[in-house]
Structure formats: structure tokens, C-alpha cells
Structure 1
Amino acid sequence: MSEEQHLAAIIDGHITTQLIASAVRFGVPDLLKDGPVSTQRLSRATGIAPRELTRFLRALQGLGVVEKAAPDGYRAGPLARHLQRDAGGLYGQALLAGGDYYEAWAHLDYSLRTGESAFEHHHGGSLWGRFAESAEVAAAFTRTMRTNTERAVDEIFGLYAFPACGLVADLGAGDGTLVAGLVSRFPELRAIVFEQASVIEHTRRSLEKRQLGDRCEYVPGSLLDEVPRGADLYILKSVIHNWDDESALRILENCRTAMDGRGTLLLIERAMGEDNPREAAIRDMVMLVLFGSMDRTAREYEELLERAGFMVARTVISSSGLSLLEARPAT
């Protein structure tokens, strides 16, 4: 492939995004998960006319989502399992990338000119506000966060010695994947699960499905308002990078207030400059477009904590760029 062809393929990424998002929206990966299905049956199930469906499936075949199956049908391709509703780790990401995120990225120029969120500019409100408006968006986001946490959870447990007992508060817990890992490893540990009111029922159902719900207390609320008191360890995983400095400081100060001079705060982020430069740069642009925020270096996270009244006890950075900052209220 020539440089020009390679660049053309990159430019046409919007086409790939929408082909995959449509496959998920129409449920194609789920319809094929039990074996080959005829084109006619797929047409009835999706509501797409046979001619347009055949054209669509040919395109998905080229992407590895489906494969042709004789005599007149299709089966799941090697990538389909990642897009299935119940088990696919990229199901939520595909829906968001082809919907609310997609529309926001069309306004990248606005973010570049202003330093503000293109998502909020286009949608008239934050992503967090969209959760209250659309259960589908909330569910897709928590699914995406679950996948991201599942990828990192073993690395997190390898980097930090979590307490075997006491009370831990996961602030912005998503679907509870990190909490589930903690309380399943440490039978004497209890957890406060803190999430927005529009998300916390997703969290509750997820932990109850894992049969861990009775080990947790569910507290709805906003990190910008206040944080539950009384925990021994407070965890902020992939939270602070969603906020500009002013809001990030407010969240950290709320944590310090809730801690009342005791306990530990654990900040978990992927720090800029510590992993693949291309991935880090794109992730930083995602923060700008979606939230008007930024990824930060480990030192910049340390400075935020210090400005919020914390003393950073130690910073651990893995080979993949995952950064864990342990901090305590400064005396």
C-alpha cells in the first residue's frame, strides 16, 4: 500500500466507524452468534431489505465482522464476538463512536479554537447529562468503562497493595468492575459505590449479577458536590482526566473534606508521556473533544493533588503507562 493509499484509508475512517456502529445497532453480531443465518432470515430480523442487506454484509465481510456461508447466508466473522450485546467488550464503544461521540467530533475545530468541549457545544450539555436523558447512552458508556477496567485490573492489583479489610470508596465506579475485583479478593473488605443517579442502577445490577451486591453500599451523587465520608481508602480511577483543572481541584478538595484528615486517596490514570505516544496523543484529544479536559503527566497529577491539600506519598508508573498516585491529607 502506497503512502497515498494508506492516508486515504485513514481519511475514510468515518465510513468504517458507521459500518460497525450500524452492525451493532441492527444486532448483526448477535443474530450470527449461534451459527450461519440465511440472508432472508437476517432481512426479516433486521428490517433491512435483502438487496441493501447483501450490500451491507459484503462491506462487513471486508472488515472481518461477518463471513459468507453457503448457500445463501452469513456467519460471524473473527471480530463479531467483540461486538455482541452481552459479551462483546467493544459493544458500548461502537454505539458511542457511531452516535453521540461521532457527532461531537464533527465539531473538533470548535474545541481547537476555544479549548472547550465539542460534545457540550453540539449536544447542549455534558456527556454526564446525556446519561439522564438516554439509558442507552449510559449503558453503552458503563460497558466501555468495564472493558477498559478489565484490561487494567490485573495490572492495578500488581502495582498496589490494597487493604484486606476496612471500607473502600470507589468514586465514579462505572459498572463496579474494580469494586468487584476488590471485594472478591478480600472477603473482609466492604465498599461504597459512588456514581451518578443515572448510572448507579447499572452499577448495582452489575455487582448483584456477580453476587457481590450485599458487600456494597450504593450512594448516588456528583463528585462536584460532595463525597461520602468514612472510608479508609478512596479510589479515583480514570476520573480526574475527565475534568479541567478547576473542576478537578474541586473534586479532590471534596475528597479531602470527606476524609477528615484520615485515610488514603488512590488516583489511577494513564499519564501522558508514559506509554505509546500516538495513543496518548489521541487519548488527550478525546478528553478535549468530549470534556474540554486533558490528560496530564504524572507530575501534573501530583501538582493537582498538592494544590488540593494532599501530600503525595508515592507514585508508581507501570511499563504500560498506568500511573497510581497514593496521597494523604496534608497536615
Structure 2
Amino acid sequence: RTPMDLPLKDGRKIDPTDSSVAARYVLNDIYCSAWLSHAISALCEHRVPDFVGGEPTAIESIAKKAGLHAPTLYRALRALAANGIFEERGDGFFLHNDVSRLLCADHPYSWSGMARMWGHPSCMSAWMHYRKSLTDGQSGIKHAFGKTLYEHLAQDSAATKAFSDAMISNSAHAAVSISREFPFRNFKRVVDLGGGAGTLLHTILAENEHLEGVIFDLPELESLAKDSIRTADLASRCQFIAGNFLSEVPSGADLYLIKNSLWNWSDDHCIEILRNIRRAIGTTYGARFLLIEYVINSRNKKWTTAYDLQILNMPGGRARTEAEYKMLLLQAGLAVTETDIIEDQTLMLSAPVQ
């Protein structure tokens, strides 16, 4: 029995003698998901999730707080509730469920930043050029703006904020698990390369009070990173150093880490970055490099290969398999000594090849 023979689902009649009917529904659901993602982004931009309560809230009340058109907002929330995001009670009353609550700005693992980035004009403009990317392998951002993602961000503060907020969303939950499960007790000073606002490093330092840390990232993120260091009350153990890991990496640490950054880059750029890390490690006894990435494998390829499309679209990089990352590391003079999986992230600890 094939999927085409399965009973009626979602109120849609399937002709068991014509597999194209069910196939059409599969494609339709994919397109619907895209529309729903736009609705989520727009609602987060207007802070709608922050105005929905734990008890049923009238659509008129939500719309008034958000400054939105109530009938149109109702249609958006109705569609999302029908697809498992928010709950609708009665006619025009909504409340949170576990999924929608994650879109609130004050949730400890808020996904609001990521939702807003997916709907940001820079991201949308890039996707409008995806058909061109298929012809030459260049990123949608490059086609849309004539610049790399990072050149574009350096000239657009709003886009930089959206991108940074998305990275915070992406790091918050995994940071807790990584900080507790990886043996940071074996190290004294850690440098987070491309550390952004410091979400991961701050969590690591909070869990490991003996550690000192450095956030290393582009100059345009300095103000954001230093503010976050002060907010986390980590000024005595954490500092920000401005720089570009394509050019150099600061020395003096016994652990360097990169989380979800190498897949933003081509193989040649990755090798360049990794060689800079190898040079920074130098001959420091016991120094290691920790790579944390989404890695394509047989268990997760449904979503990692989809992410790969977005990675081409925005930074112009690509997702890789574990074997591909190990090959890049070896070409840079680093050999993997330990591998682990924490949540949906693969951790590869490597040491200099002697």
C-alpha cells in the first residue's frame, strides 16, 4: 500500500485511481507553508504574539494593542490556529499554545527574531532572485544587492539587527544544552569566533565560572556585544575583540569555537578560516577547536537540506556532511578527536595535526 492509497485527510477527497490528486495536495501544502511563514513574520513584526494571553483574548483587543485591522488580523490568526500555531476558542478569541508562545519576545528561547528575519525585505529580495542563483551558484543576496551578505549587512543597520536577532533565536536553547553537556571544565579561556551578541558564550560562562571568554566578530557588532556583556554581568570574564576570521584569529586561548558559521562559507573560505584558527592555536599545549554545526545525515536530511537552500540564498555557503567537514579540517591541519550530537547540533572537537 502506497501513500497514494491512504484514506481521506484534511477534508480532501483522494481518488485512489489517480495518484496525481494526492500529489497535488502535497505540493499545495508546501505552498501553504510558505504563506503561513509570511503571516508569522508579519505578526511578529507587529508584536502580535506579545498581545495574546494565556486565556482566550478577543481579536478586537489584540488588534487594538497592535494597531492592526481586526478583521484582517482575525484571518491571519485563524489560519495559523488551524495549522497548530495559537488556539482559537469560540468566534474570534485566541490564546497561546506551546508553539505560538515561542514567538513571544520575552520567551527565554524566543523564536521571534528568526521569524522576523525570514520576512525581512533583504531575505525576501534574495529569494526573488533564486532562479538566477540556479544558473550560476551565486547567492540571492548577491543578485539582489550586488554585495555579499556581510557587505550588505555592514551598510544596512536594520538588516544587521534582524540578522543578529535571528542568530540569538537560533542559539538560545541549544546554548543551554551545549554549555552543560560539553566538558568546558577542561579549558580556561574560550574564543567564540563569529560570536555575535554572545548568546552562546554568555551561557557557557554562566555554567562554568572558572572560564574566561572572548567574543570575536565584525566591528559593526561591537556595540551590541558589549551591551550584552554588561547586561549579563560578565565584564570581568568576557571581552569583545573586533576582527574578521577570514584575516586572522586572536591567539592566547586553549579553546576556539564556531557555531553555525562555517556553513555560511565556501570550501575555500572555510579552509582559510580554519587555517587561521590553526595558526592561532600555534603550539599551545592542549588547545582545541570545537566546531558546532547542523550536519546533513540520513536522519535529518528533510530539514537540513531545506536549510541548505536558505544558506545558498543568503550568505552563499552550503550545508555539509560530517565527512565533508572532517576533510576541510584536515586540509587546514586539524584532525577530529571527538564527535558528539547535542540536540540537533553536531559537535566536532579537533586538535592540530602533529
TM-score, normalization by structure 2: 0.81
Amino acid at match of 2:253: A
In the alignment, is the contact (CA less than 8 A) between 2:52 and 2:95 conserved in 1?
Answer: yes
* CA–CA distance in structure 1, aligned partners of residues 73 and 321 of structure 2: 47
* CA–CA distance in structure 2, aligned partners of residues 115 and 14 of structure 1: 23
Residue 110 of structure 2 corresponds to 89
Deviation at 1:53, TM superposition (A): 3.6
Which protein has greater RCO, CA pairs closer than 8 Å, 6+ apart?
Answer: 1
Q: 1:130 to 1:29 in 2, by over 3 A?
A: farther
- Which segments of 5 or more consecutive residues in structure 2 lack a partner in the other structure? 1-8, 15-21
Residue 215 of structure 2 corresponds to 193
Q: Structure 1 stretch 205-214 or stretch 112-121: which is displaced more?
A: 205-214
- Which segments of 5 or more consecutive residues in structure 1 lack a partner in the other structure? none
Residue 325 of structure 1 corresponds to 348
Specify the SS of the correspondent of 1:312. strand
Whether 1:205 aligns to 2:235 is: no
Specify the SS of the correspondent of 1:291. coil
Residue 301 of structure 1 corresponds to 325
In the alignment, is the contact (CA less than 8 A) between 1:43 and 1:53 conserved in 2?
Answer: yes
Matches within 5 A, 1:102-117: 102-117=124-139
Whether 1:288 aligns to 2:312 is: yes
Amino acid at match of 2:306: I
* CA–CA distance in structure 2, aligned partners of residues 144 and 30 of structure 1: 17
Percent identity of equivalent pairs = 27
Residue 265 of structure 2 corresponds to 243
Q: 1:134 to 1:275 in 2, by over 3 A?
A: farther
Q: Structure 1 stretch 239-248 or stretch 122-131: which is displaced more?
A: 122-131
- Deviations 1:68-122 (CA, angstroms, capped at 9, x unpaired): 5678754445533111223262211111112232332232222222122112211
Question: Which of 46, 59, 65 is the equivalent residue of 2:79?
Answer: 59
In the alignment, is the contact (CA less than 8 A) between 1:90 and 1:147 conserved in 2?
Answer: yes
- Deviations 1:156-188 (CA, angstroms, capped at 9, x unpaired): 357642245522111011332321232222222
Question: Which of 238, 257, 264 is the equivalent residue of 2:279?
Answer: 257
* CA–CA distance in structure 2, aligned partners of residues 74 and 133 of structure 1: 40
Q: 1:329 to 1:314 in 2, by over 3 A?
A: closer
Q: 1:328 to 1:107 in 2, by over 3 A?
A: same
Amino acid at match of 1:245: D
* CA–CA distance in structure 2, aligned partners of residues 52 and 184 of structure 1: 44
Whether 1:120 aligns to 2:142 is: yes
Q: 1:48 to 1:326 in 2, by over 3 A?
A: closer
* CA–CA distance in structure 1, aligned partners of residues 215 and 177 of structure 2: 21
Whether 1:20 aligns to 2:21 is: no
Residue 3 of structure 2 corresponds to none
Amino acid at match of 2:146: G
Residue 25 of structure 2 corresponds to 5
Whether 1:131 aligns to 2:153 is: yes
* CA–CA distance in structure 2, aligned partners of residues 126 and 34 of structure 1: 42
Aligned-CA RMSD value: 2.8
